[in-house]
Amino acid sequence: MPAVQYSEPANAGGLSYEPGSDERKLLKAALAEMESTVTEIPSIINGKRIRTGHKGKQVNPWDRYGAPLAEYHQVDPKTIKAKAIPGALEARKHWANMSFKDRCAIYKKAAKLVESPKYQWKLMAASMIGQGKTCGQAEGDCIAEVIDTLNFHVYFCAQLYDLQPPKQLDSSSSRLDYRPLEGFVLAISPFNFTALGAHIAFTPALLGNVILWKPSPMAVLSNYLLYQIMEEAGVPTGVIQFLPVEDPTRVVEPAIASPHFAGLHYTGSSAVLRAPCTQIGTKTKIYKTFPRIVGESGGKNFHLIHDSCKDDVERLASEAVCSAYKQTGQSTALLTLELVPKTIWEQGDPKRLSCEKRLR
């Protein structure tokens, strides 16, 4: 059980970025610096920066043929098998036995570092340029949501540890002990939200697990900054192995082939998720424990319009466009289906409706 109680945190606030504001000036300076620089990113195994010379590129999505935003060094499957996996398992011996309170202190410190001048503007710039976000979208993603991820997961995981069986008769010796998984977790995070890198890789680690983290090639720079934050906050070397690769099989195949593979934490496309799930199912005999799989993939989101909204059609149209195309269409919660009553639909342009009827 946690040695201390954690009060429910407040949601992180945001800045306005109004013309002439200090935050706008600082952000513009960070954007200009990042756009003029190609950041070199190593793989990181057991705390050591590895520069293989076999580089992948994170391009600027609106200037795909210009200079890349970052270049990252990729390790091969042999290195994953020989160094990353054994190093993570060695780090587990200390990390899994560290008190929950001490792990929480690291995460609380990391939350403070996210909004520090050293990291805030770099995270904003990396998310805006690399992942195609406005300043408001980036503020909500790579700053506020990362802070909330770190703070709220401390709060909720503490509640998890507090879940204990009821006392039996007069005995107080009945106690449930929560242990991390017996092995390592493979964390695969997507490109569309920086905060998902923090959630996918860092949340299992809070509970004492060790992580092989494969970030998306389209979010390597912002995710590398998150790794640096956790490193500075005090996460021991080897707990999170940072493994950026262009071809996911370079990490996925040696990880899933290891008998110490204990879990998959994934967010991304359904097509990509099917492959590791199939491989895991065919290899269950080799694993020391049954792997846990947590996977979030594609879905459909809809607006259901009520007939009472018929006097506000312009707003309905505006909200539909905003929901479908904000975040440059990257969010899994964006509108993909509009369910509109016939009485409202027929308020539209008669020429367009006539054309649609002919097409049907």
The two tokens of residue 80 are 């994953």
Highest mean pLDDT among 3-7, 230-234, 306-310: 230-234
Task: Report the alpha-carbon distance of residue 149 to residue 295 in Å, rounded.
Answer: 18
Among all chains, which residue has been given the structure tokens 């200037």? 63
Of the two residues 38 and 272, the one the predictor is more confident about is: 38
Q: Report pLDDT for 349.
A: 61
Q: Percent of the chain beyond pLDDT 90?
A: 71
Task: Report the alpha-carbon distance of residue 271 to residue 273 in Å, rounded.
Answer: 6
Q: Report pLDDT for 171.
A: 62
Coil, helix or strand for 50? Answer: strand
Q: Which of 153-167, 170-184, 268-282 has the lowest mean pLDDT?
A: 170-184
The two tokens of residue 300 are 């459909």
Q: Report pLDDT for 358.
A: 44
Q: Is the pLDDT of residue 52 over 70?
A: yes
Q: Report pLDDT for 169.
A: 62
Query: What integer is the mean pLDDT of 57-81?
Result: 94
CATH architecture label of 29-163+180-297: 3-Layer(aba) Sandwich (3.40)
pTM for this entry: 0.91
Identify any residues that bridge with 188 across adjacent strands, giving them in sequence order. 214, 266
Q: Which of 12-21, 38-47, 121-130, 221-230 has the lowest mean pLDDT?
A: 12-21
Q: What is the largest CA-CA distance in the chain?
A: 79
The separation between the first and the last C-alpha atoms of the chain, rounded to the nearest angstrom, is: 62
Q: Which of 119-123, 158-162, 184-188 has the lowest mean pLDDT?
A: 158-162
Q: Is the dihedral of CA 104, 110, 114, 115 positive or negative?
A: positive
Domain range annotation of the chain: 29-163+180-297, 301-354
Q: Report pLDDT for 355.
A: 43
Q: Which of 16-30, 124-138, 148-162, 339-353 has the lowest mean pLDDT?
A: 339-353
Q: Report pLDDT for 314.
A: 85
Q: Is the pLDDT of residue 39 over 90?
A: yes
Q: Is the pLDDT of residue 293 over 90?
A: yes
Q: What is the pLDDT of residues 295-354, one digit of tens each?
A: 988 777 888 999 898 888 888 888 888 888 877 777 777 888 889 998 888 776 655 544
Query: What integer is the mean pLDDT of 263-276?
Result: 91
Q: Report pLDDT for 346.
A: 79
Task: Report the alpha-carbon distance of residue 116 to residue 90 in Å, rounded.
Answer: 32
Q: Is the pLDDT of residue 260 over 70?
A: yes
Q: Is the pLDDT of residue 45 over 60?
A: yes
Q: Report pLDDT for 347.
A: 75
Q: What is the pLDDT of residues 194-215, one digit of tens each?
A: 999 999 999 999 999 999 999 9
Coil, helix or strand for 293? Answer: strand
Query: What integer is the mean pLDDT of 106-128?
Result: 98
Of the two residues 216 and 307, the one the predictor is more confident about is: 216
Of the two residues 1 and 88, the one the predictor is more confident about is: 88
Query: What integer is the mean pLDDT of 55-66?
Result: 91
How sure is the predictor about 359, in pLDDT bands with cuts at 50, 70 and 90? very low
Q: Report pLDDT for 217.
A: 96
Of the two residues 63 and 76, the one the predictor is more confident about is: 76
201 half-sphere exposure, CB direction, 13 A CA radius = 29
Q: Is the pLDDT of residue 98 over 80?
A: yes
Query: What integer is the mean pLDDT of 233-260?
Result: 97
The two tokens of residue 138 are 């980036």
